[in-house]
Amino acid sequence: VKRSRPSRPAAAQAVVPTAREEARRNTRARFEQWAKNPTCQANTVSAVHNIRMTDVAKHAALPTTFGQSPFAIARGDNFERGLFYNKAERLRAALIEAEVLPKDAFRFLDLRLRMNGGTRINALDDAIAQTTQFLHELVENAGDAPAIVAGATVRIPKGVMLPEANLIIDALAIRADGPKPQLIVGEIKTYPDRGGYTDPAELAMARAQAGIYLHALQLVAERESIASAIELSTVGFLVLSRPGSNRPSIRAQEDLRFQAVRAKRGFELLEKAAHEIPSIDQGATNEQLLTTVMHSSRSYGESCLSFCDLAPRCFGEALDAGDPIILGEDVQRFLGPISLPRAMELLDGAQPRSEAEADVVRRMVEGNGAAAS
Ligand code: SF4
């Protein structure tokens, strides 16, 4: 669920790490940001070194617009708590209806931190230890396995991402009716499922995150020597809301294979960025990192407008360069290396100067013919 954590009373802060420390250790929010535009070097450096784009924009005297709405945060909290309320009965019913779980599925394991709505666990390390214990118990006695696990927390083996990679998985569905216990990754989003009209960028983002968690589980299963004893499903599920309500809408059978491979590649890029640029722990100042992000190469994409405070600047640069991306990824794919001004000239009848331009003209003519018939 996309939201920041609410501030906690002083007594609670004595038990769990400070918000800043927790934010550093829980790389999830940084992965979410990075996964929205993994090809942008500035975004990658920002995610690896935990330098928020809002701070980069402020540093560059740009207006900031992506502060989190307290209403959106409260909505996300309510939605998730409703799903897991009373041993996750609402989520279980929805998963059974969507045939993610069998009809007789029951038992719920809550590994969420108290600060995230859980009831037992105060610290990230405890959540990681209990998740590891759950995985081993699953291998030893699949018959007693819970059908749903909330907040499973994994630490990716050292070296995959610096300084630490602790990932919290919204929901896992467990099936014990096959030859091996099967784990199915689920990602919860508050936004409404509008069937064929659901925002494709939001769906792509949710799938990307689920793919990251699948890859993380693959790494952990190998580290714990249980990879051959369990089945990590390569299809996952998304939990969205029904329009105008807090009831869940399940998107089952989401193919995560490509996303998991992409996550693997992404981890490598992230680690490269971590090694190439000194972190605060290695003596870099906040000021230096802000400047590094600001001057890293950028690769504007459709998704930028939805999350990054540098988007107006990057959009303006793409506009000045005549980059077709400003009209969206479909137009960018259609035109390839041809700029928008040049595409306009070709539309006005200019002679193609290259094979690529001739190809675009041919496709424009074909498109016109198809539209006219
Ligand atoms: S808006 Fe600019 S800096 Fe931000 S992710 Fe997109 S290209 Fe990168």
Ligand 1 geometric centre to CA of 44 (Å): 10
Does the beta carbon of 300 sit less than 6 angstroms from any atom of ligand 1? yes
Ligand 1 geometric centre to CA of 163 (Å): 23
Ligand 1 geometric centre to CA of 145 (Å): 43
Question: Which of 40, 290, 297, 325 should be mutated for ligand 1, with most atoms under 8 A from CB?
Answer: 40
Does the beta carbon of 299 sit less than 6 angstroms from any atom of ligand 1? yes
Ligand 1 geometric centre to CA of 164 (Å): 24
pTM for this model (two decimals):
0.69
pLDDT by residue for the chain (373 residues), tens only, comes to 443 333 333 333 333 344 445 545 556 677 778 877 877 889 988 888 888 899 999 998 888 776 555 666 677 788 999 999 999 999 999 999 999 999 999 999 999 999 888 999 999 899 999 999 999 999 999 889 999 999 999 987 655 455 567 788 999 999 999 999 999 999 998 888 887 777 777 787 788 889 889 999 999 999 999 999 999 999 999 999 998 888 999 999 999 998 888 788 777 777 777 777 777 667 778 888 899 899 998 988 877 887 899 998 999 999 999 999 999 878 888 999 999 999 999 999 999 999 999 999 999 888 776 666 6
What pLDDT shows up at residue 237?
A: 97
What pLDDT shows up at residue 245?
A: 85
Does the beta carbon of 298 sit less than 6 angstroms from any atom of ligand 1? yes
Show the 3-state SS of the chain.
Answer: CCCCCCCCCHHHHHHCCCHHHHHHHECHHHHHHHHHCCCCHHHHHHHHCCCCHHHHHHHCCCCCCCCCCHHHHHHHHHHHHHHHHHHHHHHHHHHHHCCCCCCCCCCEEECCEHHHCCCCECCHHHHHHHHHHHHHHHHHCHHHCCCEEEEEEEECCCCCCCCCCEEEEEEEEEECCCCCCEEEEEEEEEEECCHHHCCHHHHHHHHHHHHHHHHHHHHHHHHCCCCCCCEECCEEEEEEECCCCCCEEEEEEEECHHHHHHHHHHHHHHHHHHHHCCCHHHCCCHHHHHHHHHHCCCCCCHHHHHCCCCHHHHHHHHHHCCCHHHHCHHHHHHHCCCCHHHHHHHHCCCCCCCHHHHHHHHHHHHHHHHHHC
